[in-house]
Protein backbone atom coordinates (compact mmCIF):
# COMPACT_ATOMS: atom_id res chain seq x y z
CA UNK A 1 0.00 0.00 0.00
CA UNK A 2 1.17 3.53 -0.80
CA UNK A 3 0.78 5.45 2.46
CA UNK A 4 2.05 8.84 1.29
CA UNK A 5 3.86 10.64 -1.52
CA UNK A 6 6.44 13.36 -1.04
CA UNK A 7 7.05 15.28 -4.24
CA UNK A 8 6.17 18.31 -6.35
CA UNK A 9 2.74 18.99 -7.83
CA UNK A 10 3.34 19.21 -11.58
CA UNK A 11 -0.19 19.74 -12.86
CA UNK A 12 -3.83 20.00 -11.90
CA UNK A 13 -6.79 18.50 -13.69
CA UNK A 14 -10.48 18.30 -12.86
CA UNK A 15 -10.58 16.40 -9.60
CA UNK A 16 -6.98 15.24 -9.71
CA UNK A 17 -3.34 16.28 -9.59
CA UNK A 18 -0.10 14.83 -10.91
CA UNK A 19 2.70 14.67 -8.36
CA UNK A 20 6.30 14.05 -9.40
CA UNK A 21 8.20 11.78 -7.01
CA UNK A 22 11.79 11.29 -8.16
CA UNK A 23 10.86 11.47 -11.82
CA UNK A 24 7.74 9.31 -11.60
CA UNK A 25 4.39 11.06 -12.11
CA UNK A 26 1.50 9.78 -9.98
CA UNK A 27 -2.09 10.64 -10.88
CA UNK A 28 -3.86 11.31 -7.58
CA UNK A 29 -7.58 12.01 -7.15
CA UNK A 30 -8.21 14.70 -4.52
CA UNK A 31 -11.23 16.37 -2.88
CA UNK A 32 -10.26 19.86 -4.06
CA UNK A 33 -7.42 20.72 -6.43
CA UNK A 34 -7.43 24.32 -5.17
CA UNK A 35 -5.77 23.21 -1.93
CA UNK A 36 -2.70 21.94 -3.77
CA UNK A 37 -0.03 24.33 -4.99
CA UNK A 38 1.86 24.10 -8.26
CA UNK A 39 5.41 24.51 -6.97
CA UNK A 40 8.90 23.08 -7.08
CA UNK A 41 8.74 22.72 -3.32
CA UNK A 42 7.96 19.21 -2.14
CA UNK A 43 4.57 18.54 -0.59
CA UNK A 44 3.49 15.63 1.58
CA UNK A 45 0.30 13.98 0.34
CA UNK A 46 -1.28 11.19 2.36
CA UNK A 47 -2.73 8.54 0.08
CA UNK A 48 -5.10 5.62 -0.12
CA UNK A 49 -4.75 3.01 -2.86
CA UNK A 50 -8.22 1.91 -3.95
CA UNK A 51 -8.31 -1.51 -5.59
CA UNK A 52 -11.32 -3.18 -7.15
CA UNK A 53 -11.70 -5.78 -9.89
CA UNK A 54 -12.33 -3.13 -12.52
CA UNK A 55 -10.37 -0.21 -11.09
CA UNK A 56 -7.16 0.83 -9.37
CA UNK A 57 -6.93 4.46 -8.26
CA UNK A 58 -4.88 6.58 -5.89
CA UNK A 59 -6.58 9.15 -3.65
CA UNK A 60 -4.68 11.92 -1.90
CA UNK A 61 -5.24 14.18 1.10
CA UNK A 62 -3.45 16.95 2.97
CA UNK A 63 -3.71 15.20 6.35
CA UNK A 64 -3.90 11.73 7.85
CA UNK A 65 -7.19 12.80 9.41
CA UNK A 66 -8.75 13.38 5.98
CA UNK A 67 -7.40 10.09 4.65
CA UNK A 68 -8.71 8.10 7.62
CA UNK A 69 -12.09 9.81 7.32
CA UNK A 70 -12.20 8.92 3.61
CA UNK A 71 -11.51 5.26 4.44
CA UNK A 72 -14.39 5.19 6.93
CA UNK A 73 -16.71 6.72 4.34
CA UNK A 74 -15.95 4.29 1.52
CA UNK A 75 -16.45 1.32 3.84
CA UNK A 76 -20.11 2.33 4.21
CA UNK A 77 -22.59 0.79 1.73
CA UNK A 78 -23.60 3.22 -0.99
CA UNK A 79 -20.64 5.57 -0.59
CA UNK A 80 -18.06 5.21 -3.33
CA UNK A 81 -14.84 7.21 -3.67
CA UNK A 82 -16.48 9.98 -5.71
CA UNK A 83 -19.20 10.63 -3.13
CA UNK A 84 -16.63 10.42 -0.32
CA UNK A 85 -14.52 13.09 -2.05
CA UNK A 86 -17.64 15.24 -2.48
CA UNK A 87 -18.36 14.95 1.24
CA UNK A 88 -14.87 16.14 2.16
CA UNK A 89 -14.89 18.92 -0.45
CA UNK A 90 -18.46 20.16 0.06
CA UNK A 91 -18.86 19.85 3.82
CA UNK A 92 -15.56 18.96 5.40
CA UNK A 93 -14.93 16.44 8.14
CA UNK A 94 -16.29 18.38 11.09
CA UNK A 95 -19.54 19.51 9.51
CA UNK A 96 -20.32 16.08 8.08
CA UNK A 97 -19.58 14.39 11.40
CA UNK A 98 -21.91 16.88 13.10
CA UNK A 99 -24.66 16.23 10.52
CA UNK A 100 -24.45 12.44 10.96
CA UNK A 101 -24.38 12.54 14.76
CA UNK A 102 -27.36 14.91 14.79
CA UNK A 103 -29.12 12.80 12.11
CA UNK A 104 -29.58 15.95 10.05
CA UNK A 105 -30.72 14.49 6.73
CA UNK A 106 -31.08 17.94 5.14
CA UNK A 107 -27.41 18.76 5.67
CA UNK A 108 -26.23 15.31 4.59
CA UNK A 109 -28.31 15.32 1.40
CA UNK A 110 -26.94 18.75 0.47
CA UNK A 111 -23.77 16.94 -0.68
CA UNK A 112 -23.62 16.21 -4.41
CA UNK A 113 -24.49 12.58 -5.07
CA UNK A 114 -26.42 11.98 -1.84
CA UNK A 115 -30.19 11.67 -1.91
CA UNK A 116 -32.60 11.23 0.99
CA UNK A 117 -32.46 7.41 0.93
CA UNK A 118 -28.66 7.35 0.99
CA UNK A 119 -28.63 10.00 3.72
CA UNK A 120 -30.73 7.74 5.95
CA UNK A 121 -28.44 4.78 5.21
CA UNK A 122 -25.37 6.89 6.02
CA UNK A 123 -26.76 7.79 9.44
CA UNK A 124 -27.56 4.13 10.13
CA UNK A 125 -24.14 2.88 9.01
CA UNK A 126 -21.83 5.64 10.23
CA UNK A 127 -23.27 7.18 13.36
CA UNK A 128 -21.52 4.82 15.79
CA UNK A 129 -18.23 4.89 13.87
CA UNK A 130 -18.15 8.69 13.70
CA UNK A 131 -18.81 8.98 17.42
CA UNK A 132 -15.35 7.48 17.89
CA UNK A 133 -13.60 9.56 15.21
CA UNK A 134 -11.51 12.46 16.52
CA UNK A 135 -11.31 15.59 14.40
CA UNK A 136 -9.15 18.59 15.14
CA UNK A 137 -11.02 21.90 15.16
CA UNK A 138 -8.41 24.13 13.55
CA UNK A 139 -11.03 26.08 11.60
CA UNK A 140 -12.67 27.62 14.62
CA UNK A 141 -9.96 27.53 17.26
CA UNK A 142 -9.08 25.26 20.14
CA UNK A 143 -11.64 26.51 22.64
CA UNK A 144 -14.84 25.54 20.86
CA UNK A 145 -16.08 22.56 18.90
CA UNK A 146 -17.57 23.10 15.51
CA UNK A 147 -20.79 21.50 16.62
CA UNK A 148 -21.38 24.40 19.03
CA UNK A 149 -20.22 26.87 16.39
CA UNK A 150 -22.77 25.70 13.84
CA UNK A 151 -25.49 25.31 16.46
CA UNK A 152 -25.09 28.95 17.56
CA UNK A 153 -25.47 30.12 13.97
CA UNK A 154 -28.59 28.02 13.40
CA UNK A 155 -30.20 29.20 16.61
CA UNK A 156 -29.44 32.84 15.75
CA UNK A 157 -31.21 32.52 12.39
CA UNK A 158 -34.18 30.79 14.00
CA UNK A 159 -34.43 33.69 16.44
CA UNK A 160 -34.68 35.99 13.42
CA UNK A 161 -37.71 34.08 12.18
CA UNK A 162 -36.22 31.47 9.84
CA UNK A 163 -37.54 27.91 9.96
CA UNK A 164 -35.28 25.19 11.34
CA UNK A 165 -34.77 23.74 7.83
CA UNK A 166 -33.90 27.06 6.19
CA UNK A 167 -31.62 28.09 9.06
CA UNK A 168 -29.67 24.84 8.71
CA UNK A 169 -29.42 25.23 4.93
CA UNK A 170 -28.21 28.82 5.16
CA UNK A 171 -25.59 28.02 7.81
CA UNK A 172 -24.40 24.93 5.92
CA UNK A 173 -24.00 27.00 2.76
CA UNK A 174 -22.15 29.74 4.64
CA UNK A 175 -19.74 27.24 6.23
CA UNK A 176 -18.86 25.85 2.79
CA UNK A 177 -18.09 29.34 1.47
CA UNK A 178 -16.08 30.47 4.48
CA UNK A 179 -14.29 27.23 5.44
CA UNK A 180 -10.95 28.35 3.96
CA UNK A 181 -10.79 31.42 6.20
CA UNK A 182 -8.11 31.06 8.87
CA UNK A 183 -10.28 32.85 11.42
CA UNK A 184 -14.05 32.84 11.39
CA UNK A 185 -16.44 34.05 14.08
CA UNK A 186 -20.08 33.17 14.62
CA UNK A 187 -20.86 36.74 13.57
CA UNK A 188 -19.08 36.18 10.23
CA UNK A 189 -21.06 32.99 9.70
CA UNK A 190 -24.41 34.63 10.43
CA UNK A 191 -23.61 37.69 8.32
CA UNK A 192 -22.77 35.56 5.29
CA UNK A 193 -25.76 33.26 5.87
CA UNK A 194 -28.02 36.33 5.60
CA UNK A 195 -26.23 37.94 2.66
CA UNK A 196 -27.31 37.97 -0.98
CA UNK A 197 -24.02 36.25 -1.86
CA UNK A 198 -25.26 33.09 -0.17
CA UNK A 199 -26.57 31.62 -3.43
CA UNK A 200 -26.02 27.88 -2.96
CA UNK A 201 -29.09 27.34 -0.79
CA UNK A 202 -31.41 24.66 -2.15
Q: Domains, the chain, ranges and CATH?
A: 4-62 (2.40.50.140), 65-131 (1.10.150.20), 146-194 (no CATH)
* pLDDT of res. 83: 95
Give the residue among 71, 113, 124 at the shortest CA–CA distance from 93: 71
What DSSP character marks residue 41?
Answer: S
pTM greater than the 0.75 cutoff:
no
User: What does the pLDDT look like over 3-51, one tens digit per residue?
Assistant: 999 999 999 999 999 999 999 999 999 999 988 888 888 999 999 999 9
* pLDDT of res. 148: 62
Phi, psi of 168 (to 5 degrees): -65, -40
Residues of the chain with pLDDT under 70: 135-149, 179-184, 196-202
Give the residue among 88, 112, 80, 79 at the shortest CA–CA distance from 33: 88
Cα–Cα distance measured from residue 15 to residue 35, given in angstroms and rounded to the nearest whole number: 11
* pLDDT of res. 131: 86
* pLDDT of res. 143: 37
Amino acid sequence: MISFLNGTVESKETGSIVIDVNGVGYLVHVPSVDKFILSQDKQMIFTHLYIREDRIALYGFLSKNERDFFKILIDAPGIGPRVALNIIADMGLEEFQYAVLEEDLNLISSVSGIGSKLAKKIVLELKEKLKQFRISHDLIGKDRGKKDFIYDGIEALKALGYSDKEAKQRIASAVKKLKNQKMMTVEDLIKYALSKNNTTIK
